[in-house]
Chains A and B, each alone.
Chain A
Amino acid sequence: KAGVTQTPRYLIKTRGQQVTLSCSPISGHRSVSWYQQTPGQGLQFLFEYFSETQRNKGNFPGRFSGRQFSNSRSEMNVSTLELGDSALYLCASSLNTVQGGYTFGSGTRLTVV
């Protein structure tokens, strides 16, 4: 079966711009989570969606937002980009968040210049 697909793979944006990243989960997985990975802070939880509802949110400013569609596909948006937003953004989907693991996509590498 197809894995978690993230698009685009690479992105270069200018400070102050906004960006939208996309994630298609494994078919049948209704939970989609987003993580940010940087060399300094490591892997940090951004938010989790289930059936189009945000169930949990990490400690990120309001510039980071997301949504989930009825087909479970998810997007995350970062507005007013800052240099510190440069990171690998990873999406993960799960069938059962309590008893099962997460399947991660290959990530979108965002560079803000």
Chain B
Amino acid sequence: SQQGEEDPQALSIQEGENATMNCSYKTSINNLQWYRQNSGRGLVHLILIRSNEREKHSGRLRVTLDTSKKSSSLLITASRAADTASYFCASGEYGNKLVFGAGTILRVKS
């Protein structure tokens, strides 16, 4: 499979806590993107980090990228019940395609 890997597969936390998800990919990339999916519906783009960037912030989201290790992490701070969803990393490869990880299922308990 060409899929990247994500861990953990599932994460359950209390509201207000931070959630960290990790992702590894396999090839050279243009960028690394993170998406959220609620209940098998469409994907929502959260954040994109370019291959020459190391860290990026957007609201409660913080993404890091380590191209030497071919890995990325997504941190969601002060989680809310509404953050409950599946989260996918996607490596933006040359050739205009995304290669997705297997996803992390996040459950935020109120």
Contact = CB atoms under 8 A, between A and B. Distances in A.
Please classify the interface of chain A as helix (H, G, I), strand (E, B), loop, or mixed, using the class held by over half of its residues.
Answer: strand
Interface stretch (B15-23, B37-45, B71-79): B37-45
B79 to A, nearest CB: 22
Contacts of B41: 106-107
Contacts of B43: 90, 92, 102, 104
Contact of B45 (A41, A44, A50, A102): A102
Interface bracket on B? 20 to 34
26 contacts: A33-B96, A35-B98, A35-B100, A41-B1, A42-B100, A42-B103, A43-B88, A48-B95, A48-B97, A50-B96, A55-B95, A59-B2, A90-B43, A97-B96, A98-B31, A98-B96, A99-B50, A101-B47, A101-B48, A102-B98, A104-B35, A104-B43, A104-B44, A104-B45, A106-B42, A109-B40
